[in-house]
Amino acid sequence: MNPLMPLLFGLLLFNPSAQTLADPQTELQENRRYFQNLFPKLTLQDYADGVYAIDPISRESWLAIEEFPPYEPQLEQGKVLFERPFQNGKHYADCFPQGGIGIAQRYPLWDKQRGTVVTLETAINDCRQQHGEAPLPYQKGDMASITGYMASTSRGKVIHTEIPTDDPRALAAYNQGKDYYYKRQGQLNFSCYSCHTQNAGKQLRSEVLSPMLGHTAHWPTYRMLWGELGTLHRRFIDCLVLLRIPLIPAQSEPLRNLEYYLSYQSNGIALNGPSTRK
């Protein structure tokens, strides 16, 4: 039996009012109030620690691991890959403001020219293709190493995701990501909201469910289950598999819009990734 089945029967009824908030900023404020009431001892920045902000026993182990983080070799490799020139002599630094250093907190962003959400991973592959290089797979490997290095240069910088008011397509993308977060799907009839808002802090078998605030602050992440760094979209897809939801590709439009929604809701939280998780 799927380990989520016991939780299925214990879920609270879906709260439709959560989907009818007036605008992104209003929803951000409502979410902050909800989690402040749920976890009154936490500061906004605490949410960057994910489940370790609300699970003191696991937090002790996590802090011990972070003293000698297992992802350091991949960050070193990511720096080497980031600085290695393409065959035409150009570099990743030529594709990004500030040479790609200290900019991870700006992603995902809205590309008005193309009318789409651009994540750091898609920006990296855009850069590669612009200079005649093959795209990298999105979930792990070199992509996770490069984004891990870039994220490490943005530690301490606050998430700053904008929804341009002069382009209604940006708000539409945000709302599509929001709809995906709330939509119940799959054989178990779960949504992201079911676990990470409605039941945040509750226990699923031996695991505590993390709150949605700060979900984009610590990626890419070294998961013990993976034994390597993986991207946020790799984690998205893991959840789809676990919940028996039809799979869609990493960096597909629905998942990019979901990241856009989650990142906006985490505005003001400083990046602390890469990090480790179970």
Residue by residue, what is the 3-state secondary structure of the chain? CCCCHHHHCCCCCCCHHHHCCCCHHHHHHHHHHHHHHHCCCCCCHHHHHHHHHCCHHHHHHHHHHHHCCCCHHHHHHHHHHHHCCCCCCCCHHHHCHHHHCCCHHHCCEEECCCCEEECHHHHHHHHHHHCCCCCCCCCCCHHHHHHHHHHHCCCCCECCCCCCCCCHHHHHHHHHHHHHHHCCECCCCECHHHHHHHCCCCEECCEECCCCCCCCCCCCEEECCCCEEECHHHHHHHHHHHCCCCCCCCCCHHHHHHHHHHHHHCCCCECCCCEEEC
Dihedral angle over CA of 278, 109, 35, 15, nearest 10: -100
The structural domains of the chain, with segments of one domain joined by +, span 33-69+160-277, 72-152
**Token pair of 151 as six digits:** 């994220």
Residue 20 half-sphere exposure, CB side, CA atoms within 13 Å?
4
CATH code for 33-69+160-277? 1.10.760.10
What pLDDT is recorded for position 79? 98
pTM: 0.92
The catalytic residues are 239
Q: What is the rounded distance in angstroms from the CA atom of residue 64 to the CA atom of residue 237?
A: 28
| Multiple choice CATH, 72-152, 3.40.50.300, 1.10.760.10, 2.30.30.830, 1.20.970.10 | 1.10.760.10
Side chain identity at residue 2, one-letter code? N
Provide the greatest CA pair distance for the chain.
58
What confidence tens digit (pLDDT) does each residue in 189-217 have? 999 999 999 999 998 878 899 999 999 99
Q: Are 231 and 220 in contact (CB under 8 A)?
A: yes
pLDDT recorded at residue 22? 59
Dist. CA 71–CA 272, nearest whole Å:
13
| 72-152 and 33-69+160-277 share a CATH fold | yes
Q: Mean pLDDT, consecutive 10-residue segments, the chain of 278 residues?
A: 44 43 88 98 98 94 96 98 98 98 98 98 98 98 98 98 97 98 94 96 89 97 97 97 94 98 98 96
Residue type, 257: N
Q: How many residues does the chain have?
A: 278
Burial of 177 per CB tally in 10 Å (0-12, 13-18, 19+): buried
**CA angle at 263 for the pair 262 and 267, rounded to the nearest 5°:** 120
Q: In this predicted structure, what is the pLDDT of residue 63?
A: 96
